[in-house]
Structure 1
Amino acid sequence: MTQWRRHMHRFPECGFDLPLTANFIVEKLESFGIEVTCNIGQQGIVGVLRCGTGDASIGLRADMDALHINEQNSFEHRSCHDGKMHACGHDGHSAMLLGAASHLAENKGFNGTVHFIFQPDEEHGKGAQAMIDDGLFERFQINTIYGLHNMPGLAEGQFIVRPGSLMASESSFEIVIEGVGGHAAMPHRGIDPIVVGSQIIMALQTIVSRNLNAIEETAVVSATEFITNGTVNVIPSQVIIKGDCRCFTEDSLVKIEQAMERIVAGICQAAGAQYQFNFLNTFYPTVNSSTPTEHVIQAAVAVFGDEHVERNCLPLTISEDFSSMLRVKPGCYGLLGNGVDSVGGCALHNPEYDFNDNILKLGAQYWVQLVSDQLK
C-alpha cells in the first residue's frame, strides 16, 4: 500500500483528467481478480467482488484527484507534475481501498457483494454527481455506501464520526449591482453602487442572526470580494460582490438563498439600482444516516479500540462531495486521524502536506471490518 500510495503521489492528476491514476487502479483491481467497470462519470471506476449467495451489498468509496498546488516537499516521492499535488490525501484514500480490495479478494470471508468505488473530481464537487448521473446506483445494486477521509491534527488511530450533519454545504454567490456612475464631487447626479453594495453586505449578516434558528441552524455567510469599476475621483457604475456560504441542512440552504435575494432586491429597489443575483451550490451538507453510522462505530471500535472512537464529534464547516451520494443512498462518512506531529499534522491543502503511511493499514483494516460486519 505504501508503494501504491507513493506512486500515485508522484504522478498527481486533477479533476476528471485522471488517465494515469485510473489506469493504475484498474490494473491493481484486475490483478486481484476483481470485476472492473471504467469510465463511470468520465473517469470513475467501480470494482465488484462477490462472495457467497447473499443479496446484501455495500459500497466503499475513495477519491482519486489531486489539487492545483505546487508541492514544496523534498522527499523522493514528491510530485513530478508541476502545479499539481496530492495535498488532501486522496492518494492515501485510494491506496487504503486498494489494500482492502486485495485482502477481501484473497480471503473472501463475507456473504454478498462489495463495490469498490473510485471517484474523480472530488475537489471541485462534481465527481460524485457525475457518477450518479451516469447511472452508478442503477447499474450497481448498492444498499449502503461509506466514505473515509484522513484528518491532520487528529492522532493516528483516532476516529471521529457523528450521525446527522457531519460537514457543511459550500455555496458561492455573486451579486452584480448596476448603478449610475459619475464624478465623485457630484454624487447626487448618479446612483452610487458602492453605497448600495455596502448596505447589502451589512444586511447579509442578518440572515444568520435573524432568519435561522440560533440553536438548530448553524451557518456562515461571508462576503469575500468587493469589485468596482471606479477610480479615485469617479463613482463607479457597477459593483460586484462575491462570497461563500456554509450550513448543515438543505432546509437552511434554501432559506439562505431566498433571504439573500430578498435583501439584494429590496435594497436595490430602494436605491433605484438594478441587480443580478447568482447562487451556486457546489457541495451539499454531508448527512450521515443513523443505522449506517452505528455500523461504522461498531467497525471502528473493533479496529481502533473503544477509547479511540469519538461517536458524536462536533460538525465541521469543511465540505465533501460524498454528500451527493448520501442524498441518494443511506450511508456514513468518517474521519481517521493522520497524526499530530511533523509526519501527519500538516493541514490539508497545504503545499507541505503528505499522507501518513502509518495509517494505511488502519484504514484498510477498517474497510475489511466494515465489510465483514455488514456482509456476514
Structure 2
Amino acid sequence: MSEHAPEIESILKTVEADVDAADGQKPDRHFIPTRHFCTLDDTLDSRAELQDIRRHIHQHPELAFNEIHTAELVASRLEGWGYEVTRGVGGTGVVGTLRHGTSRRSVGIRADMDALPIHERSGLPYASVHEGKMHACGHDGHTTVLLGAARQLARTRHFDGTIHLIFQPAEEIGSGGGAERMLADGLFERFPCDAIFGLHNHPGVAAGTFMFRAGPFMAACDTVAITIRGKGGHAARPHQSIDPILVAGSLVMALQSVVARNVDPNETAVVTIGTLHAGHAPNVIPDSARMEISVRSFSAEVRASMEARIRQLATAHAEGYGATVEIDYVRGYPVLVNSERETAFAQQVAEELVGAERTVGNFHRIAGSEDFAYFLQQRPGCFVRMGNGANQPLLHNAGYDFNDENLTVGAAYWTRLAERYLSDEF
C-alpha cells in the first residue's frame, strides 16, 4: 500500500475539504475512496488457509438442508472477520453483511454449500468421511472462494456501501431448494441487493478462466414421471393382456420427436428418458411400466410447448394400445437469465483481473440447471463460470475434486467485483 499512500492522502484531503465546506462534518477516516482494486497478488497470502478450509469442507460433506457443520464454520469465520452474521436463513443458510462508507448501494454474492448423495472414489487423502456423500459439484470450493473474498474485503474495506455474502443451502435437490427457501424467508427484503452475482466451476476449461454469457445461459429443468397402466397376464398369451412395456417402448421412440420435430431448430432443448422400470419375470406381462424423463429448455415458450407435446404423446400412445397413463409433470428450476449490464460488468472485472486471454465472452449455453435462476428473476445480476482444469473429472462424478488453484483467483475476483461495483466507477 505504500506506493498508493500519496494518492490516498490527496484524495482524503479533498474529501475532507468538500465535506467541511458543506456542513462542517468530518468523514469516516476509515473509509478511503482508493482506486486500488484487488489483484491476484493480494489474496496469495490466504492460499494455505483457504486450502485447509476447502479440504475440511470436502472431507465433511452435508446434504441439502443438513449443512449444519458447514454453515457454522462459515458463520464463525465471518464473525471473526467482523461481519454481521444471520444464521438460519431459508433453513441452514447464512448471510454475512459488511457495511463501509456512506453509500446506500448494495451488492449480493452467493455461494452454495450442499453436497451430493454420491460415494466418493477419488482416493484423495481428504476424501469424504461420510459414506454415500461427497462434494462432487465443487460447492466446497464455491463456499471457500467466497470466504476468501470475505476475508480480503474485511481487511481492506476498499468499497463504499453494503456487501451481503449469501451462503445458500440445498442447490442440488431441484424444486423446493435453497434459493426458493431463502427468497420465501425474505432474503432480498432483509438483505437488499441492487444486484446479485454467483459462480460455478467448469471442468474441461483451464483453471482460472472466466466464462460469461448475457441472456439465457443455463436451462430450465423439468422432471416428468409417466406411469402406463396395462393389463398383466401370461407371456404365452399376450392377446389376453395389454402390455405396458410395448407401450413404453413405443413412447420412448416417439418422445425423441419432440425436439427433432416440435422445437425450432434455432432453439436448444433436451428430452432424456433416464429411467424405465417394468416387470419382474420373463414369463409375466406386468400390469404397469414407469419412466422418468428430464426435460430442458431455454425459453418459456419452448418449455410450455414441450410439456404440451409430451402430455399429448403419452396419452395418445397409451390410448392407442388400450392402456391408460398417469403423468406427473414437475417444473423445476427456471431458465437462468443473466442481465446485460451486470454481465458486461462482471466480464470487465475478469478482464482486469486475469486478462482478456483468460476471459471468454458469449460462452455457449449450458443444458445444466441452477437455482440461482430464482435470484435473477428478482434482481439483475450475472452467474459466472470458472474453469476447473482442462483434464479434470466431470461434475457429479465420484472422482471429481475442486481445483485448489482457483481458491485465491476466485477470492480475488469476488473481492474486486464487490469493490468495483461499490465504487463511483460502476
- The normalised TM-score by structure 1 is 0.94
Cα distance in 1 between the residues matched to 2:396 and 2:88: 27
Larger radius of gyration: 2
Equivalent runs, 1:287-326 vs 2, <5 Å:
287-326=337-376
Residue 234 of structure 2 is aligned to residue 174 of structure 1: no
Residue 144 of structure 2 is aligned to residue 113 of structure 1: no
The question of whether the paired residues in 2 share the 8 Å contact of 1:124 and 1:282 is answered with no
The question of whether the paired residues in 2 share the 8 Å contact of 1:159 and 1:309 is answered with yes
Per the alignment, in what secondary structure is the counterpart of residue 333 of structure 1? strand
Across the aligned residues of Structure 1 and Structure 2, the Cα RMSD in angstroms comes to 1.6
What per-residue deviation string (whole Å, max 9, x for no partner) do you get for residues 294-329 of structure 1?
Answer: 111111111110111111011112222212212222
Amino acid at match of 1:281: R
Report the alpha carbon displacement of residue 278 of structure 1 after superposing the two structures with TM: 0.7
Taking a change above 3 Å as real, the CA distance of residues 185 and 209 of structure 1, as seen in their structure-2 partners, is same
Per the alignment, in what secondary structure is the counterpart of residue 110 of structure 1? coil
Per the alignment, in what secondary structure is the counterpart of residue 81 of structure 1? coil
What per-residue deviation string (whole Å, max 9, x for no partner) do you get for residues 252-272 of structure 1?
Answer: 222211111111122223333
Q: Which residue of 2 aligns with 1:245?
A: 295
Q: Which residue of 2 aligns with 1:231?
A: 281
Report the alpha carbon displacement of residue 21 of structure 1 after superposing the two structures with TM: 0.5
Cα distance in 1 between the residues matched to 2:287 and 2:123: 49
Pick from 212, 232, 251: which aligns with 1:200? 251
Equivalent runs, 1:93-172 vs 2, <5 Å:
93-125=142-174, 126-172=177-223
Amino acid at match of 1:348: L
The question of whether the paired residues in 2 share the 8 Å contact of 1:230 and 1:237 is answered with no
Per the alignment, in what secondary structure is the counterpart of residue 283 of structure 1? coil
Per mean C-alpha deviation after superposition, the further-off stretch among 130-139 and 220-229 is: 220-229
Cα distance in 1 between the residues matched to 2:124 and 2:289: 46
Cα distance in 2 between the residues matched to 1:147 and 1:242: 30
Amino acid at match of 1:370: L
Residue 387 of structure 2 is aligned to residue 337 of structure 1: yes
Cα distance in 2 between the residues matched to 1:121 and 1:290: 27
Per the alignment, in what secondary structure is the counterpart of residue 232 of structure 1? coil
Per the alignment, in what secondary structure is the counterpart of residue 378 of structure 2? coil
Per mean C-alpha deviation after superposition, the further-off stretch among 107-116 and 238-247 is: 238-247
Report the alpha carbon displacement of residue 239 of structure 1 after superposing the two structures with TM: 1.6
- The normalised TM-score by structure 2 is 0.83
Taking a change above 3 Å as real, the CA distance of residues 197 and 350 of structure 1, as seen in their structure-2 partners, is closer
Per the alignment, in what secondary structure is the counterpart of residue 65 of structure 1? coil
Per mean C-alpha deviation after superposition, the further-off stretch among 166-175 and 290-299 is: 166-175
Pick from 10, 18, 25: which aligns with 2:67? 18
Structure with more of its chain in strand, by fraction: 1
Taking a change above 3 Å as real, the CA distance of residues 182 and 72 of structure 1, as seen in their structure-2 partners, is closer
Question: Between Structure 1 and Structure 2, how many residues are aligned?
Answer: 372
Amino acid at match of 1:78: A
The question of whether the paired residues in 2 share the 8 Å contact of 1:65 and 1:121 is answered with yes
Report the alpha carbon displacement of residue 89 of structure 1 after superposing the two structures with TM: 1.4
Amino acid at match of 2:385: L
Aligned-residue identity in percent: 43
Cα distance in 2 between the residues matched to 1:159 and 1:358: 13
Pick from 345, 350, 358: which aligns with 2:405? 358
Taking a change above 3 Å as real, the CA distance of residues 87 and 183 of structure 1, as seen in their structure-2 partners, is closer
Taking a change above 3 Å as real, the CA distance of residues 245 and 30 of structure 1, as seen in their structure-2 partners, is same
Residue 89 of structure 2 is aligned to residue 40 of structure 1: yes
Q: Which residue of 1 aligns with 2:34?
A: none
Structure 2 portions without partners, runs of 5+: 1-49
Taking a change above 3 Å as real, the CA distance of residues 69 and 231 of structure 1, as seen in their structure-2 partners, is closer
Report the alpha carbon displacement of residue 121 of structure 1 after superposing the two structures with TM: 1.0
Cα distance in 2 between the residues matched to 1:83 and 1:240: 26
Cα distance in 2 between the residues matched to 1:346 and 1:200: 34
Cα distance in 1 between the residues matched to 2:406 and 2:254: 46
Cα distance in 2 between the residues matched to 1:197 and 1:82: 35
Report the alpha carbon displacement of residue 111 of structure 1 after superposing the two structures with TM: 1.4
The question of whether the paired residues in 2 share the 8 Å contact of 1:302 and 1:369 is answered with no
Structure 1 portions without partners, runs of 5+: none
Amino acid at match of 2:388: N
Q: Which residue of 1 aligns with 2:51?
A: 2
Q: Which residue of 2 aligns with 1:89?
A: 138
Cα distance in 2 between the residues matched to 1:92 and 1:200: 41
What per-residue deviation string (whole Å, max 9, x for no partner) do you get for residues 176-221 of structure 1?
Answer: 1112222333333332222322222222122112221111x21111
